[in-house]
Amino acid sequence: MNKSRRRAVIAGNWKMNKTPSETKAFIEELKTALPEADCDVIVCVPFVDIAAAVEAAKGSDIKVGAQNVHFAENGAYTGEVSAKMLNDIGCEYVIIGHSERRQYFGETDETVNKRLTAALAAGLKVVLCVGEMKNERERTVTDEIVSMQTKIALLGVEREQMENIIIAYEPVWAIGTGLTATEKQADEVCGIIRSVISAKYGVDIGETTTIQYGGSMNAKNAASLLSKYHVDGGLIGSAALTADTFSAIVEATNQ
Residue from 41, 43, 116, 217 in contact with ligand PGA (CB under 6 A) = 217
**In 67-203, which ranges are E strands?**
93-96, 125-130, 165-169
Q: How many CB atoms lie within 10 A of CB 143?
A: 16
Q: Which of residues 65-94 bind ligand PGA (CB under 6 A)?
A: none
Per-position x/- string for 20-39, each x denoting binding to ligand PGA as judged by CB under 6 A, each - no binding? --------------------
Least CB distance to ligand PGA at residue 37 (A):
19
Exactly one of 100, 107, 132, 170 is catalytic; which is it?
170
Would you give the DSSP letter of residue 35? P
Cβ contacts of 159 within 8 Å, gap of 6 or more: 201, 202, 205
- Of 78-86, 115-123, 155-163, 214-222, which segment contacts ligand PGA by CB under 6 A? 214-222
User: With binding defined as CB under 6 A, does residue 215 bind ligand PGA?
Assistant: yes
User: With binding defined as CB under 6 A, does residue 12 bind ligand PGA?
Assistant: no
* Cα separation, 176 vs 186, whole angstroms: 16
- Between 116 and 217, CB nearer to ligand PGA: 217
User: With binding defined as CB under 6 A, does residue 145 bind ligand PGA?
Assistant: no
Question: Cβ(58)–Cβ(68) under 8 Å?
Answer: no
Q: Is 98 a catalytic residue?
A: yes
The backbone torsions φ and ψ at residue 205, rounded to the nearest 5 degrees and listed phi first, read -70, -40
* Cα separation, 146 vs 247, whole angstroms: 29
Question: Cβ(142)–Cβ(189) under 8 Å?
Answer: yes
Residue from 6, 8, 10, 13 in contact with ligand PGA (CB under 6 A) = 13
Cβ contacts of 106 within 8 Å, gap of 6 or more: none
- Of 83-91, 130-138, 187-195, 231-239, which segment contacts ligand PGA by CB under 6 A? 231-239
User: With binding defined as CB under 6 A, does residue 216 bind ligand PGA?
Assistant: yes
SS3 212: strand
Question: Cβ(172)–Cβ(103) under 8 Å?
Answer: yes
- Between 15 and 201, CB nearer to ligand PGA: 15
Question: Cβ(132)–Cβ(145) under 8 Å?
Answer: yes
Least CB distance to ligand PGA at residue 159 (A):
27
User: With binding defined as CB under 6 A, does residue 214 bind ligand PGA?
Assistant: yes
Residue from 74, 176, 204, 229 in contact with ligand PGA (CB under 6 A) = 176
SS3 107: coil
Q: Is 170 a catalytic residue?
A: yes
Least CB distance to ligand PGA at residue 2 (A):
27
Residue ranges that bind ligand PGA, judged by CB under 6 A:
13, 170, 175-176, 214-217, 235-239
Instruction: Please identify every residue annotated as catalytic.
Output: 98, 170
